[in-house]
Amino acid sequence: MIGCYIDDKMLDDNFRLVNPRALGYQVEHFDTKQDCIDQCGDKGFLYAGFQNGDLCFCGNDYDKYGRADDSECNIKCRTPDEPVEFTDKEFESCGGRWRNAVYAVTGVKSAERLAALKWWQGKK
């Protein structure tokens, strides 16, 4: 794990996010941490992040809202229908409430990474 990073949680009057997420692409269906990381890599992203135990995000930047203490990424990996359980073991953690446990995606070819980064920078 690279570290625990803050995600923005400011909502408007209709309960929509005001600012974009720190990691901008959400993987809707994944089975394991590795599956999430692999899907991020397959899409050409540099980083994968886990949040709230059951959410997976991808992106090329992860520190938009700053670093959090690693102890704030303390929710065990779970499926959406399982209750939240807390842990102090990094290998069991899938982020925290509005906190991303960020991992570098490995196995993505350098050319693909550069192309993804160039595309991502063009979106900003």
Token pair in block for residue 18: 């005001």
Q: What is the pLDDT of residues 45-73, one digit of tens each?
A: 999 999 999 999 999 999 999 999 999 99
Domain interval for residue 7: 3-123
Domain count for the chain, please give it: 1
Token pair in block for residue 84: 């939240």
Q: What is the pLDDT of residues 90-112, one digit of tens each?
A: 888 999 999 999 999 975 555 55
What does the DSSP 8-state code read for residue 15?
S
pTM beyond cutoff 0.75: yes
Helix (H) or strand (E) holding 59: strand 55-59
